[in-house]
Amino acid sequence: MLYRVFPARDGADPAEDGGPLFVARALQGSSRHDNPDRYGALYATRVALSAVAERLLRFRGQRLSDGDLVRADGRRYALAAIDDAGLSAVHDLDDPQELVRRRLRPSWVATSDRSVTQPIALQAFDDGSDGFAWWSTIEAGWSNVTLFAERAIPRLRVGGRPDPLTTGHPLVRAMAERFGIGLGR
């Protein structure tokens, strides 16, 4: 199972703008594994708390209100569960044997230097994979997943209705406690 936080739009189909599988490819290029000229990068995680943390960590040391969980266009961020059982070729870059096979150093996978991480992703794409897993730079025990949208999305299924995020949501509260974020205003 994968998890993803996204700006939800009522009535949106899963892969269209406002749906949990939508990739705003025109806005990609500066993130860790982006190569928008070749593929859309769909970022997800195997740990629900990690999906919430990726969205909210920028509030560390600040206060978070329900208004901070709604974009200027009125869309509330929501957590989606995504069934990835239909994928076959997601390589694990936390596996030492996979790193050796790909001739990668762990520090290259973990760096925030996009001139290093984007070519790693492009090579995985060129190898024909659906995507790859790698450890979160927020918490190494969390497994993040980068999927190549055009290959992966047709084989993904959204599990149930996305869960809107509020300051009362248990994962928002857990994340706030763990990372020193105050709740409410």
| pLDDT tens per residue, range 78-123 | 999 999 999 988 999 999 999 999 999 999 999 989 999 999 999 9
Residue 132 burial class via C-beta count within 10 angstroms: exposed 0-12, middle 13-18, buried 19 and up: buried
Sign of CA dihedral 155, 7, 27, 11: positive
C-alpha 98/C-alpha 74 separation (Å) is 42
Q: Count of domains in the chain?
A: 1
Q: Are 37 and 31 in contact (CB under 8 A)?
A: no
List, as one string, the DSSP characters of 8-48.
--TT--TTSTTSTT---GGG-SSSTT-BTTTB-EEEEESSH
Residues 6+ apart with CB under 8 A from 82: 1, 2, 3, 4, 20, 21, 44, 156, 157, 158, 159
Position 137 scores a pLDDT of 87
* Residue at 3: amino acid letter: Y
- Rg of the chain's alpha carbons, rounded to an integer? 16
Q: Which structural domain range is residue 152 located in?
A: 2-183
* pLDDT tens digits in sequence order for the chain, 185 residues long: 999 999 999 999 999 999 999 999 999 999 899 999 999 999 999 999 999 999 999 999 899 999 999 999 999 999 999 999 999 889 999 999 999 999 999 999 999 899 999 999 999 999 999 999 999 989 899 999 999 999 999 999 999 899 999 999 999 999 999 999 999 86
Show the CA angle centred on residue 117, arms to residues 156 and 29, nearest 5°: 70
Token pair 């492009």: residue:
122
Position 185 scores a pLDDT of 66
